[in-house]
Amino acid sequence: MTAMPARGSLRLRLLAGTLFGVAALIVVAGWGLDNLFREHVARQFRAELATHLDQLTAHLVVDEGGRPKLSAALSDPRFSRPDSGLYWQIDPADETGAGGALRSRSLWDDVLGVPADVAADGTVHEHRLDGPGGIPLCALERRVHFEDTPDSPGGHFRLIVAADERLMAEPVARFRGALWIALGLLSAGLGLAALIQVIVGLAPLRQLRIALARVHEGSAQRLEGEFPAEVMPLIDDFNSVLARNAEVVERARTQAGNLAHALKTPLSVLANASAGREDELAALVRAQVAAAQRHVQSHLARAKAAAAASLPGARTALRPVVDGLLRTMHRLHAARSLDLVAGPIGDSLVFRGEEQDLQEMLGNLLDNACKWARSRVEISAGIDSGAGGTSLLITIDDDGCGIPASQRDAVLRRGVRADERIPGSGLGLSIADDLAQLYGGRLLLGDSPLGGLRARLRLPAASPAGALGGS
């Protein structure tokens, strides 16, 4: 199985999308709120100034000399505190231009320099002025006109109320600080929520990956577990593909077996008919029957194995297979009273593959060992954790005559028999080797400490049941 390059991470995509959206919305909301508040503060500020201006207008009287005068002091005490930031001033609106005729105590010695524009009587103007010490002021101006009366000459006056702009900026700055802290906390919270959502939302995918790993690793035959409605159809499809696969393998097996049966009975008839006759035809029939038998057997073994090796999820505990085979060997070789000894084989030794294939490999090796052994056959097994993953290492020793090193390669080839003295097809070792290679394993022949042949079978191991998290 080759891994395809991943096209981005679903988790990253979801997370990036959510965080980008949250950030954009937070910025827009912050900017909007900030503006709204600033405008609100400015409006209130101006309304306050207008109130002061109204009060100033109400209190303004003109004395007999035509000079403006206040009938009462303005109510806000800041007008009488020097440099308080809140000021008023009344200028005569004639060409003399002498400003600052009447002004609040807060202005002290300063005079507000009002631009000399002309506005209609009664309207209110807004100005930006430089106040005492050059600080920027926001000022409202109203022009009023007193009619001449018997008591006073009347006249035009400019009434100005001004306030330090910092009085307005300060609450805005305070609000802005609080606003951005709140929005910062909000976006952090939303980001965290998005992260949790992505992790929780995508958890079934991780579960799916674990389930798939179990199938691949051989500890499950199908994808197990409950999945969300969005994923479930996929799981069901996948499971039906797996089931169909298993069914096809099983059918191939059955057909292979049927073919064997169908061919072997006529072969037996031919072999029996030729038995005990010495003519040329009988010899030809015997030779061809033997050849046909070898072909049938080797192709059957390969067909079965090819079908089996591609089936995912198969796992077979070693111990029961060895036990069954030893029972069988005892019976089949009962006449020879061999010692068949199995070393300790733990339950943790599990072959990643089909039971029938394991039986075929070990059966052929054990049978071969029993045929040649003088008195003793030993089988032992262990785990070998090499660079290429964990593998099972099964060793079968006999005390027979062994196979010379020069012939070991030859006996692994199809149908080559090192010795014709004992009946057999000459396929046993090569079938075991073929099967092992289909599973990515190997069969190695060597010298046994018992004096005969040592066959070492290396096969892929599966982790013992339940070792891989979950149910």
Partner 1 sequence: MRVLVVEDDGVLRGQLVSTLEAAGYAVDSADNGIDAQHLGTTGSYDAVLLDLGLPRLDGLSVLRNWRAVGRTMPVLILTARDSWHEKVAGIDAGADDYLAKPFHVEELLARLRALIRRAGGHASAELVCGPLCLDTRNGRASVAGQVLALTSHEYRVLAYLMHHQGEVVSRSDLVEHIYAQDFDRDSNTIEVFIARLRKKLPPGLIETIRGLGYRLGAPR
Binding site for partner 1 (CB under 8 A): 257, 260-265, 267-273, 275-276, 289, 293, 297, 304, 324-325, 327-328, 331-332, 334-335, 355-356, 359-360, 362-364, 367, 423
How far, CA to CA in Å, does 445 sit from each of 343, 357, 365, 378? 19, 19, 11, 15
The DSSP call for residue 79 is: G
Is-contact 86 168, C-beta < 8 A?
no
- Alpha carbon distance 368, 361 (integer Å): 11
Residue 178: other Cβ atoms inside 10 A: 10
Q: Please say which residue, 162 or 289, places its beta carbon nearer to partner 1.
A: 289
Q: Which residues contact 225 (CB under 8 A, 6 or more apart)?
A: 207, 211, 470, 471
The single-letter code of the amino acid at 167 is L
Q: How far is the CB of 316 from partner 1 (least distance, A)?
A: 11
Q: Please say which residue, 100 or 424, places its beta carbon nearer to partner 1.
A: 424
Q: Which residues pair with 350 in a beta bridge?
A: 317, 462
The single-letter code of the amino acid at 112 is L
What is the DSSP code string of 283-324? HHHHHHHHHHHHHHHHHHHHHHHHHHHT-TT--EEHHHHHHH
Q: How far is the CB of 260 from partner 1 (least distance, A)?
A: 5
Q: Please say which residue, 156 or 374, places its beta carbon nearer to partner 1.
A: 374
Q: Please say which residue, 276 or 344, places its beta carbon nearer to partner 1.
A: 276
Is-contact 470 226, C-beta < 8 A?
no
Q: How far is the CB of 330 from partner 1 (least distance, A)?
A: 9
Q: Please say which residue, 23 or 422, places its beta carbon nearer to partner 1.
A: 422
Q: Please say which residue, 359 or 407, places its beta carbon nearer to partner 1.
A: 359
- Alpha carbon distance 29, 34 (integer Å): 8
Could you give the dihedral angle defined by the CA atoms of residues 47, 53, 54 and 56, in that order, rounded to the nearest 10 degrees? 150
Q: Please say which residue, 7 or 331, places its beta carbon nearer to partner 1.
A: 331
The single-letter code of the amino acid at 41 is V
The single-letter code of the amino acid at 191 is G
Q: How far is the CB of 395 from partner 1 (least distance, A)?
A: 18
- Alpha carbon distance 326, 374 (integer Å): 17
Q: How far is the CB of 321 from partner 1 (least distance, A)?
A: 8
Q: Which residues contact 67 (CB under 8 A, 6 or more apart)?
A: 101, 102
How far, CA to CA in Å, does 71 sit from each of 74, 368, 377? 10, 131, 130
Q: Please say which residue, 190 or 332, places its beta carbon nearer to partner 1.
A: 332
Q: How far is the CB of 269 from partner 1 (least distance, A)?
A: 5
Q: Please say which residue, 59 or 294, places its beta carbon nearer to partner 1.
A: 294
Q: Please say which residue, 14 or 259, places its beta carbon nearer to partner 1.
A: 259
Q: How far is the CB of 422 from partner 1 (least distance, A)?
A: 11
Q: How far is the CB of 357 from partner 1 (least distance, A)?
A: 9
Could you give the dihedral angle defined by the CA atoms of residues 284, 285, 290 and 291, in that order, rounded to the nearest 10 degrees? 70
Q: How far is the CB of 270 from partner 1 (least distance, A)?
A: 7
Q: How many residues does the chain have?
A: 471
Q: How far is the CB of 293 from partner 1 (least distance, A)?
A: 6
